[in-house]
């Protein structure tokens, strides 16, 4: 209301010909002024967003149709970069590794998070202690977590030496080893979020099912899981998206090796952009990654709307 | 649920509920195994930071019987962690302050100022939080080089502002919506400007939201790796994460010293987390539950 005051008092009492119209104009002007001020408050966000995300995002789309090396001019080559992906073995392998990673993360960390949270939701004592400890790996920086596990898995000093396995250096164990390391830093987050969702479940549901003689396992399947479905779906969606974008642990622990055994789309893109002078091709990989996120989010939104799931 | 018709007056429900809540011993076993999985690697890391390289080679998982405290000093010097911490402090403070200002203003506009097109603004923010860094990384790198922002702290801070602000805005908006509107209407009638309302009415009430946003932004900026390693090249300008990374990747094969520098790096965040545990968990949970 503060901004409409000035406009309405100028309504001239001598000319009452179109009083309603004049007040209307004043109100509209005041409204426009308020809208302008509101957008002024949005300006910092819009500015950095355009500069960092939207602008370069659109540039990526443009460069994905060029043979840009990163320096000099970019020539338009149509869909060649996208066509190249279909025949590029490195791309295909990396994509399959991402799919493998997605399945792994939908199964292992998800079930650890679910069971951990379910057990914690039953606890009456030490709840805070367990929750804090489970969460600590999540706040450890990826560079440090990677180093912790590099030590542990090392064939020279660590479990690797005791078991005689070169976890990260062997093509058949490397990807799974990196996934375990990433799981270690990730699952505590899932516990915390699932626990928050489980604590919001109506306790009378548990009491009623206990009366029916349901044991803990049955309660987990028939009460807890259906009750936290929105959270479960949301984290499942996030897991899929993040699995296609995974970068840190692979880049730090194996750089995609040995011999491409742990190469994923992000590390492939990084190498193409900054080592192989294939910025155009790298941009097209970025566009594909964004498309994958977009498709997953779109499918999720559609499911939500059609089946009425609320977050 | 419908098959048993238990009279409500009977005292059984309480007992039954008690039974359901009393944890089976196996519960504790699983919880302790998970506890060991979470904490074990960190404890071993801590032990390693107090041992010597030769001890590590002979007995990988041993206890530090003669703690080598000087490892920390050596690691601090050799990895030039002092400079890394100064740079990280600048980056973390700049990021947290900037995100609070940018997201605070935007959230205020969206929750209080009847922003025209608020629906599309919301949708755009949601899309922004879902867009991968990988989409804009490559052109951003070359844009930053051209603008002279590559290899500067402010360049990295601006990127963090852009990336962390959308989610922070959504979070702060939900905090601000819960502040009763009567308060700011009363202030406006008393002649307060929009800035005045934001600073004198909204901020004092919504400050837990700002603290949460600042904490989450600080943690993310401190730990961030992909952008830091891409956009900072000069050693003296590296934040602690890439300082540690280059020390670890460097010529030194002394894992005791690498462990010591890793412990130094994770100590401040773990301490901050233990201090402000509740607020961290709230912020992270909000992220996980979709804002």
Of B27, B265, B266, the CB nearest to A119: B27
- A53 is written with which tokens? 């995300």
Q: Are residues A19 and A134 in the same domain?
A: no
Instruction: Give the domain range for residue A35.
Output: 5-48
Q: Are residues A15 and A145 in the same domain?
A: no
How many Cβ atoms are within 10 Å of A302's Cβ, its own excluded? 10
Q: Are residues A199 and A92 in the same domain?
A: yes
CB contact under 8 A, B56 and A120: no
| pLDDT on residue A305 | 80
Chain A residues whose beta carbon lies within 8 Å of the beta carbon of residue B245: 143, 252
Question: How distant is the alpha carbon of residue A104 from its chain centre?
Answer: 16
| pLDDT on residue A22 | 67
Cβ contact A214:A120 at 8 Å: no
Is A64 among the domain residues? no
| pLDDT on residue B11 | 39
**pLDDT per residue rounded down to tens, chain A (311 residues):** 333 333 333 344 444 455 556 667 788 888 888 888 889 999 999 999 999 999 999 999 999 999 988 887 888 888 888 999 888 889 999 999 999 999 999 999 999 999 999 999 888 788 889 999 999 999 999 999 999 998 888 887 778 877 878 888 888 899 999 999 999 999 999 999 999 889 888 889 988 998 888 888 888 999 999 989 888 988 898 899 899 999 999 999 998 878 889 999 999 999 998 888 889 999 999 999 999 988 988 888 888 787 765 54
Is A68 among the domain residues? no
A258 exposure class (CB count in 10 Å sphere: 0-12, 13-18, 19+): middle
Q: How far is residue B185's CA from residue A156's CA, in Å, rounded to a whole number?
A: 68
Check pLDDT > 70 for residue B5. no
Nearest by Cα to A239 from A283, A197, A198, A189? A189
Of A49, A141, A203, the CB nearest to B162: A49
How many Cβ atoms are within 10 Å of B69's Cβ, its own excluded? 10
| pLDDT on residue B126 | 79
Nearest by Cα to B237 from B92, B91, B93? B91
Q: Domain count of chain A?
A: 2
| pLDDT on residue B94 | 97
Chain B residues whose beta carbon lies within 8 Å of the beta carbon of residue A157: 56-57, 60, 255
Chain A residues whose beta carbon lies within 8 Å of the beta carbon of residue B256: none
Q: How far is residue B142's CA from residue B147's CA, in Å, rounded to a whole number?
A: 9
For residue B39, the 8-state DSSP code is H
Cβ contact B243:B83 at 8 Å: yes
Is A81 among the domain residues? no
How many Cβ atoms are within 10 Å of B109's Cβ, its own excluded? 26
pTM of structure: 0.85
Query: Residues B166-200: pLDDT tens digits?
Result: 989 988 988 888 888 888 888 888 888 888 888 88
Q: Which CATH architecture has domain B75-288?
A: Orthogonal Bundle (1.10)
Question: How distant is the alpha carbon of residue A84 from its chain centre?
Answer: 27
Is A77 among the domain residues? no
Best interface-test mutation with A: which of B14, B137, B221, B244 has the largest number of A CBs within 10 A?
B137
131-150 in chain A: CB under 8 A from chain B? 131-144, 147-150
CB contact under 8 A, B103 and A283: no
Cβ contact A300:A73 at 8 Å: no
Query: Residues B212-225: pLDDT tens digits?
Result: 899 989 999 999 99
Q: How far is residue A226's CA from residue A212's CA, in Å, rounded to a whole number?
A: 18
CB contact under 8 A, A245 and B133: yes
* CATH number for position A173: 1.10.3720.10
CB contact under 8 A, A247 and B226: yes
Chain A residues whose beta carbon lies within 8 Å of the beta carbon of residue B60: 154, 157-159, 161-162
CB contact under 8 A, B262 and A193: no
Nearest CA in chain A to B223: A141
At B290, the pLDDT band (50, 70, 90 cuts) reads: low
Chain A residues whose beta carbon lies within 8 Å of the beta carbon of residue B48: 151
Q: How far is residue A36's CA from residue A39's CA, in Å, rounded to a whole number?
A: 5
User: Residue ranges of the alpha helices (H) in chain A?
Assistant: 5-9, 19-48, 55-63, 80-87, 89-122, 127-139, 142-153, 159-163, 174-199, 203-211, 216-219, 225-227, 229-245, 248-253, 265-274, 279-307
Q: Are residues A135 and A40 in the same domain?
A: no
Q: Are residues A172 and A34 in the same domain?
A: no
CB contact under 8 A, B288 and A193: yes
Is A55 among the domain residues? no
Whole-angstrom distance between the N-terminal and C-terminal Cα of chain A?
34
Q: Are residues A129 and A12 in the same domain?
A: no
Nearest CA in chain B to A280: B138
Helix (H, G, I), strand (E, B) or coil at A215: coil
Is A274 among the domain residues? yes
CB contact under 8 A, A282 and B138: yes
Query: Residues B231-264: pLDDT tens digits?
Result: 999 989 999 999 999 998 886 678 888 999 999 9
Q: Are residues A35 and A157 in the same domain?
A: no
- The HSE-up count of residue A83 (CA atoms within 13 Å, CB side) is 7
SS3 content of chain B, % helix, strand, coil (to 5): 80, 0, 20
Q: Are residues A17 and A104 in the same domain?
A: no
Q: Are residues A251 and A186 in the same domain?
A: yes
Cβ contact B21:A122 at 8 Å: yes
For residue A223, the 8-state DSSP code is I
| pLDDT on residue B281 | 80
| pLDDT on residue A49 | 94
- Chain B contact for A11 (CB, 8 A cutoff): no
Q: Are residues A41 and A107 in the same domain?
A: no
Q: Are residues A152 and A30 in the same domain?
A: no
Query: Residues B18-64: pLDDT tens digits?
Result: 444 566 788 889 999 999 999 999 999 999 888 888 787 777 777 88
Q: Are residues A137 and A237 in the same domain?
A: yes
Query: Residues B100-158: pLDDT tens digits?
Result: 999 999 999 998 888 888 888 888 887 887 788 888 988 999 999 999 999 999 999 99
Q: How far is residue B28's CA from residue A202's CA, in Å, rounded to a whole number?
A: 24
| pLDDT on residue A44 | 95
Helices B203-223 and B81-112, packing angle to 10 deg: 140
CB contact under 8 A, A60 and B138: yes
């Amino acid at each position: 209301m503060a901004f409409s005051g000035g406009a309405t008092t100028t309504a001239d009492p001598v000319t009452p010909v179109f009083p309603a119209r004049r007040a209307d104009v004043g109100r509209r002007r005041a409204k426009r002024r308020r809208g302008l001020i509101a957008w002024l408050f949005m300006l910092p966000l819009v500015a950095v967003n355009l500069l960092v995300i939207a602008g370069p995002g659109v540039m990526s789309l443009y460069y994905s149709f060029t043979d840009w090396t990163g320096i000099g001019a970019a020539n338009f080559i149509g869909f060649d970069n996208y066509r190249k992906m279909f025949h590029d073995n490195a791309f295909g392998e990396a994509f399959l590794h991402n799919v493998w990673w997605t399945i792994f993360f939908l199964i292992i960390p998800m079930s650890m998070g679910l069971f951990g949270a379910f057990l914690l939701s039953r606890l009456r004592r030490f709840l805070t202690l367990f929750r804090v400890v489970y969460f600590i790996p999540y706040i450890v920086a990826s560079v440090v977590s990677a180093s912790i596990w590099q030590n542990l898995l090392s064939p020279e000093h660590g479990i690797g030496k005791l078991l005689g396995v070169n976890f990260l250096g062997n093509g058949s164990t490397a990807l799974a080893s990196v996934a375990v390391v990433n799981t270690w830093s990730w699952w505590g987050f899932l516990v915390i979020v699932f626990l928050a969702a489980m604590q919001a479940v109506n306790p009378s549901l548990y009491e009623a099912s206990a009366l029916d003689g349901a044991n803990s396992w049955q309660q987990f399947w028939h009460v807890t899981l259906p009750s936290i479905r929105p959270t479960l779906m949301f984290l499942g969606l996030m897991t899929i998206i993040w699995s296609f974008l995974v970068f840190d642990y692979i880049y730090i622990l194996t750089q995609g090796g040995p011999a491409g055994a742990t190469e994923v789309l992000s590390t492939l893109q990084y190498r193409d952009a900054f080592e192989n002078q294939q910025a155009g091709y790298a941009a097209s990989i970025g566009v594909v990654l964004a498309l994958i996120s977009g498709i997953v989010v779109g499918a999720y939104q559609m499911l939500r709307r059609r089946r009425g799931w609320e977050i | 649920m419908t098959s048993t018709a238990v009279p409500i007056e009977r005292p059984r429900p309480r007992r039954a509920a008690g039974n359901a809540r009393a944890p089976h011993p196996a519960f504790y076993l699983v919880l302790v195994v998970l506890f060991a999985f979470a904490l074990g690697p960190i404890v071993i890391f801590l032990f390693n930071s107090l041992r010597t390289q030769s001890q590590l080679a002979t007995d990988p998982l041993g206890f530090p019987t003669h703690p080598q405290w000087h490892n920390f000093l050596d690691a601090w010097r050799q990895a030039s962690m002092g400079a890394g911490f100064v740079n990280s402090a600048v980056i973390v403070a700049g990021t947290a302050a900037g995100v609070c200002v940018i997201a605070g203003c935007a959230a205020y506009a969206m929750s209080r100022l009847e922003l025209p097109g608020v629906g599309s603004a919301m949708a755009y923010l949601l899309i922004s939080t879902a867009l991968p860094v990988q989409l804009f990384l490559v052109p951003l790198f070359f844009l930053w080089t051209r603008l002279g922002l590559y290899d500067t702290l402010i360049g990295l801070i601006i990127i963090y502002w852009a990336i962390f602000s959308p989610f922070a805005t959504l979070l702060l908006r939900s905090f601000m919506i819960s502040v009763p509107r009567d308060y700011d209407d009363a202030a406006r009638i008393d002649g307060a400007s929009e800035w005045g309302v934001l600073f004198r009415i909204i901020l004092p009430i919504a400050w837990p939201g700002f603290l949460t946003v600042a904490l989450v932004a600080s943690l993310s900026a401190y730990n961030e790796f992909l952008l830091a390693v891409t956009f900072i090249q000069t050693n003296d300008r590296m934040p602690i994460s890439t300082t540690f990374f280059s020390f670890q990747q460097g010529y030194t094969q002394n894992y005791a010293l690498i462990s010591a520098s890793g412990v130094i790096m994770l100590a401040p965040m773990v301490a901050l987390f233990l201090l402000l545990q509740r607020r961290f968990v709230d912020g992270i949970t909000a992220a996980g539950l979709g804002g």
